[in-house]
Amino acid sequence: MNRPIRRLAAAVVMAALAAVIPALPAAAAPAGGNGQFGLTPVPDSAGRLAPYFTLTMAAGESVTDIALVSNEGQAAEKLKLSRATGVTAGNGGSAFSQEFQKCSGTGCWVSGLAGEVTLPAGAVERLPFTVRVPAGTPTGQYLAGLTVEAAVPPASVKVGGNGKATARAIIISRVTVGVAVTVGVLSKLTTRMRIPGVSGRAIGPTARLNIGVANTGRRSPMARARHPAPPLAGVARSRSSPLPSCRMTRR
């Protein structure tokens, strides 16, 4: 039983390593909107809109940039904004935390962002903010974010029911744009991927692999489109995957 799992584990480990390719600056969630409001970087001089903020800075340096917040609805909207901390998502790739809470980590690098704005329908406003890299920060790639959502929570909506009982939920729309910061010279940063362990287990008739992936380098790699992205620089992550074409039979 354990032999085929071991052989498949080795094959999947090799596939995972082959999927890692040299990186562009730290990956971040794309900018945009949700049909109600949006948050993006300011277009460049050629009118091109970047998917997220990309900054190259030295430790101890401060840079001011501008975000565009827009009301894409049909009525005036009061919006609240927050800085966010970039993290590695559960199955790889980038995610954000600490929105509208006390800042932590790279989220604390962001300051000067307006807390609330009220926009007429179809309006766009420029919001300056500052990113300061703390003195002594090691070279590497880091991720923060800017988040916007409605200042007044929407009314609850019915999401299900059973007889006389009903289930309701408040659905909050939120848009986050990444602020990717490279400290140092990107071409001199290295990516070092390591798989510290692989284990197999069964969930009913399905065999699964738990693959640990650690980025011990100072550069955030990207994965090919069909594979979840590896962790941010200096982060370890474990993910579970079903083994392809493998079924287990209990005796």
Tokens for 39? 């948050």
Q: Are residues 17 and 47 in the same domain?
A: no
Q: Domain span at residue 7?
A: 2-22+191-247
215 occurs within a structural domain? yes
27 occurs within a structural domain? no
Q: Are residues 165 and 64 in the same domain?
A: yes
7 occurs within a structural domain? yes
pLDDT at 32: 59
Provide the domain count of the chain: 2
Q: Are residues 155 and 213 in the same domain?
A: no
User: pLDDT digit string (tens) for 127-161?
Assistant: 999 999 999 999 999 999 999 999 998 889 888 88
pLDDT at 108: 97
Q: What is the pTM of this model?
A: 0.69
User: pLDDT digit string (tens) for 20-54?
Assistant: 323 333 334 345 556 689 999 999 889 898 999 99
